[in-house]
Amino acid sequence: MTRANDEKKKPGPRFHGRVENAGQACAAPGCNEPGEFRAPPLEGASDGNGPRAFRWMCLDHVRAFNAGYNYFDGMTSEEIYAAQRPTAGWEGESRAFTGRDPGPRWSDFADPLDAIAARYWRTMGPERSDGKPLSGQDRESLKVLGLAPDADRHALRKAYSELVRRYHPDRNGGDRSHEVMLGKVIAAYQQLRQAPAFV
C-alpha cells in the first residue's frame, strides 16, 4: 500500500469525536489500528456511581458499534412506549418567559476546554502577534488604558503610570473630579496584569 493510500485511509478531523494520538489501541479483538474514537464499555455507560471508562476503537469498529446500537435495548414495552410519547421530557414545569430576562452572561459559562474561544480564533484570527487570546474584558480594559491589542507588559505599566499621574488628585492640586476615571484605570490595570495575554 502506498503512502498516498495510507493518508486517504486515515480519518481526517472532519470525523466528529476523533482524538488523535490518544495512545490507545483499538479494543476490538485482533485489531492493530490505533483507537481514536470512544465508545461506552460493554457493561453499559454507568452503574449509577458515575460514568465508566470508555473503550477506544478505530474508525471501522466504532462505525460497526454505532450501527448496532439500540437505544431501547433492555427496556420493557412500557418503558419504550413512555420514551416514544410526543410529550416525553416535557413533564416538568418550565420557567415563565417574561421578556425581561437578560439571559446568561458570557462570564457565567465555564469553558475549561477553551472551545468557545477556539472557535472565535478560527473565525476571527488572533489580534496579537504572539497569538495569545484576549477576552472581552481584556479589550475593554485596553481601551480604558488607551492601548492597542498587541501591547506588552512594558506598555501596560507605562500607560498605567502615566494615567495615574494624570488623574490622581495629588497631581491636580487636590481636584477630585477625575476620581471615577482614576478608579477605571486602576481596575483595568489590575485586570490586565493577571490576564493570560500579559502573564
- From first to last of its 199 residues, what are the pLDDT tens digits of the chain? 455 555 555 555 556 678 877 778 898 999 999 888 888 777 665 556 666 678 889 999 999 988 888 878 888 999 888 888 888 777 777 666 666 666 667 667 777 666 666 665 555 555 788 878 788 888 889 999 999 988 999 999 999 999 999 988 888 788 888 888 999 999 999 999 888 888 8
Q: How far apart are CA 120 and CA 139, in angstroms?
A: 14
Whole-model pTM: value is 0.40
Cell of 124: 476571527
Please report the pLDDT score of residue 178 as a whole number.
85
**CB-based contact 151:188 (threshold 8 Å):** no
Cα angle value 40/58/73 (rounded, 5°): 30
Q: How far apart are CA 158 and CA 165, in angstroms?
A: 11
Please report the pLDDT score of residue 197 as a whole number.
84
Please report the pLDDT score of residue 116 as a whole number.
67
Cα radius of gyration rounded to whole Å, the chain: 27
CA distances from 104 to 10, 56, 101, 108, 111 (A): 41, 36, 9, 6, 14
Q: How far apart are CA 69 and CA 63, in angstroms?
A: 10
**Residues 6+ away with beta carbon under 8 Å from 162:** none
CA distances from 164 to 137, 146, 154 (A): 20, 13, 16
Please report the pLDDT score of residue 135 as a whole number.
81
Please report the pLDDT score of residue 190 as a whole number.
93
Cell of 80: 419504550
Domains of the chain: 1-85 (no CATH), 129-198 (1.10.287.110)
**CB-based contact 24:53 (threshold 8 Å):** no
Please report the pLDDT score of residue 139 as a whole number.
86
Please report the pLDDT score of residue 127 as a whole number.
73
**CB-based contact 142:148 (threshold 8 Å):** yes
